[in-house]
Chain A
Amino acid sequence: MFDGIGQRVVCAWFPRLGSDRALRLHPFDGPFALTLKQNNANRLYCLNAAAEQQGLHRGMAYSDARAFCPDLQSRPADLAGDEAFLQVLHRWALRYCPWVGFDGPDGLALSVTGSAHLVGGEIALLDDMQQSLADAGFSVRLGLADTRGAAWALAHYRAYAGPDKPSGFAAPGQSLQALGDLPIAALRLEEKTIVALQRLGLRTIGSLASKPRGPLARRFGPDLHLRLDQALGDMPEPVNPKAEPPHYGVRLTLPEPIGLAQDVMAGTLRLLERLCEKLKAQEAGARRLCLTLRRVDQANQQVELKLARPMRDPQRILALFERGVGAVEAGYGIDQLRLEAVAVEDLPTEQASYFVGGRKKEQLDDLISRLGTRIGLENIQRFVPSDTHIPERSFHRVPAAHPLSTLPTWPAVPSSGADGHPRPLRLFTAEPIEASGNRPPARFRWRRMALTTARAIGPERIAPEWWHEDNNWRTGLRDYWRVETQQGRRLWLYYTPQNPGWFVQGEFA
């Protein structure tokens, strides 16, 4: 067998991750539970110690729990939030070793091989983890052993309880001794297998390990001994570290609260400088930024900034924050600033160029971002042509900040010359006029004006597109006429031969 430096693995299990997280935000002393709707019934999902002492348990119907314990406080569970928080814990755990993986939805596995001495040894490491997490308000169960399986078993069935107690810790090569009297459920087996083994009288890992393997493998399949071997180190089970995506968040905690806008801006500039360093290292640019200002009274104020194009220039981004920061209510003061680039896009480094067109484009993008902070970036639009004869769908408007691979190209030669089929400059929703017949009326009233037709050019027949549901085109075919009136107005009228009626849809100004 391999006998170099053995692996050492810490398994951290957060049995009450959800409720601890909720209670951290809104502290409460009595029994507390998170509920989750499963199969149309509200069930307890995660409870605190006080609730468990009252006899409540996970998976219990919420209405039963209320009957047992009338003063139970509850809140709906936020699974996505818990998952995101486990990521945060994952990042925190990287302080102990560089090799951290997830272990189920509520645990972490740390491969501390060769890095425990950095915090003063394995016992000190467990102590430190336990203490820091307890300070942060989390109950954690820790196990340290040669293998991931053994560490898991210790964390779940004999967690670390302090330096002077012989629990939660298996010395190198002592896995079997440490696990020997743990129940076989600690081997991460299926429920069915556990029950069957207990019926055979094999209740502990020690008794299972001492039995001949052949008959058991024939009955329970290879899985049983795989788990046992993994726990005892005869089969490998590596910790898979999560690939760490670049994190674009920085924060600044202040010793004294601040309240002046210019102080906040100064703090934001410091954060931006750090953030832009990170962005530059990854050749990325921020597209959306979120500045969170934490007030002394724990109320958070957020300033969101959307940029017309990816940017990483602190001074230019700072100027765009000015408006949002001005609107923040500082209350009793702000003591923490946190800046995160929520959306990031690639922004390769470019050679500085003094090409005028490029500078102009940059200036325009800055202007669009600035206007976007005022009216919303999606309200600044540009026209993109689309290939259809339906006049109101012959173009669409996309946000000007939308990253287009190529700028829209409109036909260079105006199709709307004096000949051809010109289109009106103004389009409005069709306004009915009183008229009959399939030729434009000689006289009609439109918007309370009496108009006389002087010349009518047409018809130009446009058929609805049957592959689009469009209520405006329910009336069928349209014959478009360009009507010039004696009064000067030039209107775009259409007649619907299938449901006779006349409408004005646009004006050539």
Chain B
Amino acid sequence: MSDDLPAAFPIKRGRVHEAQGPGAWSFAAISAGLMDGVTLWCQESWHSEQLNPQGLLGFVDPASVLLAKARDQAELLAIAEESLRDGAVSLVVMELSRPLNLTAGRRLQLAAKTGRSTGLCLIADAAGSAAAETRWRCDPAFDAKDWTRQRWSLTKNKSGILGAWDVRWNWAARRLCVVSSVRE
């Protein structure tokens, strides 16, 4: 376990990344807050879980988040690809219900490369795509003193090392801190 913020974070621009686990939403929110520009959050319309802008407040200004409701995953991928290619939004968050196949993953990568915007897929466990640049597993961890603590493990990285970090979110400074392993 290392003490520094992972080199792979903030996630690389112009690529598509993946996040999974119960903390994936806050991973997405933190990533959105670290980029300037508009975030497009794509969701299938049947989802009953909704994004709460009041909860986003600590991470990113909710006014810079647009929500897109797609009928199904094919439509969701189509609008995500279009927005990535266009480059008008800096981050496209996709909530995926089914794993991506290689073609779809590759198309998203190419679109992100063209538009220089970043994609982030929120995926279920074991639904990763081979085309993703990095894959993060985010698990909130209990800490008696700190209620933002999470354990982020990098389980796939096309251009760097893997690893795991205990991180916490500093509300006041709006930045991510790595919890030093010595503290334990």
In contact, A379 and B61 (Cβ under 8 angstroms) = no
- The reply to whether B70 and A379 contact each other, CB–CB distance below 8 Å, is yes
Closest chain B CB from A455 CB (angstroms): 7
Chain B residue nearest in CB terms to A454:
B142
Contact between chains at B140 and A455 (CB < 8 Å): no
**Is residue B26 contacting chain A, with contact meaning CB distance below 8 A?**
yes
Confirm or deny: B79 has a beta carbon within 8 angstroms of a beta carbon on chain A: yes
Segment among B52-60, B96-104, B123-131, B154-162 that sits at the interface with chain A: B52-60
B52 touches A423 (CB 8 A): yes
Which residues, 228 to 265 on A, are CB-close (under 8 Å) to B?
A: none
User: In the complex, which residues of chain A have a beta carbon less than 8 angstroms from the beta carbon of B66?
Assistant: 368, 380-382, 400
Q: How large is the interface on B (under 10, 10 to 19, 20 to 34, 35 or more residues)?
A: 35 or more
Q: When the two chains form the complex, which single residue of A375, A411, A417, A424 contacts B71, counting CB atoms closer than 8 Å?
A: A375
**Is A391 located at the chain interface by the 8 A CB criterion?**
yes
Q: Are A381 and B63 in contact (CB under 8 A)?
A: no
- Total A-B Cβ pairs within 8 A: 159
Type the 1/0 row for B137-173, where 1 means its CB is closer than 8 Å to any CB of A: 0111110100110010000000000000000000110
Bits for B54-89, please: 1 = Cβ < 8 Å to A, else 0.
111110011101111111000100110011001111
Q: Which residue of B lies closest to A421 (CB)?
A: B54
Interface of A is mostly: mixed
- Complex formed: what's the CA distance from A454 to B143 in Å? 9
A418 proximal to B (CB < 8 A):
yes
B24 within 8 A of A: yes
Within 8 Å of chain B (Cβ to Cβ): is A146? no
| B:28-56 near A, CB below 8 Å | 29, 37-38, 45, 48-56
Task: Tell me whether B58 and A375 are in contact (CB under 8 A).
Answer: no
List the B residue with the shortest CB-CB distance to A507.
B22
For B22, B29, B78, the residue with the greatest tally of chain A CB atoms inside 10 Å of its CB is B22
Cβ-defined partner of A488 (8 Å) among B57, B67, B86, B140 = B140
Q: Is the CB of A383 within 8 A of B25?
A: no
Q: Contacts A367-B89, A407-B63: A416 and B142 contacting too (C-beta < 8 A)? A: no
Q: Does A188 contact B (CB under 8 A)?
A: no
Tell me the complex Cα distance, A371–B38, Å. 15
Most A C-beta atoms less than 10 A away, residue of B51, B68, B141? B68
Whether B69 lies near A427 (C-beta < 8 A) is no
Taking CB atoms, residues of chain B closer than 8 Å to A506 are: 52, 55
**Contacting pair A379 B69 (CB below 8 A):** yes
Contact at B88–A415, with CB atoms within 8 Å?
no
A385 CB-CB contact with B under 8 Å: yes
What 1/0 flags go to A21-52 for Cβ under 8 Å of B?
A: 00000000000000000000000000000000
Residues of B within 8 A of A508 (CB): 26, 55, 140, 147
A489 within 8 A of B: yes
Determine how close the nearest CB of chain A comes to the CB of B107; give it in whole angstroms.
16
New contact pairs (15) apart from A416-B54, A509-B24, CB-CB < 8 Å: A360-B37, A363-B88, A367-B89, A371-B68, A374-B79, A383-B65, A395-B62, A409-B63, A414-B171, A424-B52, A426-B50, A426-B55, A486-B142, A507-B22, A509-B23
CB-based closest 9 A-B pairs: A425-B55, A423-B54, A383-B53, A509-B26, A414-B58, A509-B25, A417-B171, A363-B88, A379-B69
